[in-house]
Amino acid sequence: MKLVTLDARRLLCPMPVIRVQDRVETLQPGTVLEVVCTDPGVLNDIPAWCRINGHEVVETRQQGDEYIVRIRVGGVEQPGG
């Protein structure tokens, strides 16, 4: 599993989702993107965006004053990917 981290700390809605969208466009299907945020709204916003766009929320958790959302990029997995 390939894991990519995106720092979206200190960004407020809708910027974390926009950053996720921009980053996902550069990733292969099956890649896991870990998004680190300080806006608690991402716990609702990112999963909603994932449902609309065909990505899977793997994990959401709070760690201190940060919120971490892991998503698996959807789409057709490429051979060897």
Distance, CA of 31 to CA of 29 (rounded, Å)? 6
Q: Which residue among 4, 11, 13, 15 is the active-site one?
A: 13
Whether 13 is catalytic: yes
Helix (H, G, I), strand (E, B) or coil at 36: strand
Helix (H, G, I), strand (E, B) or coil at 1: coil
Helix (H, G, I), strand (E, B) or coil at 49: helix
Report the catalytic residues.
Answer: 13
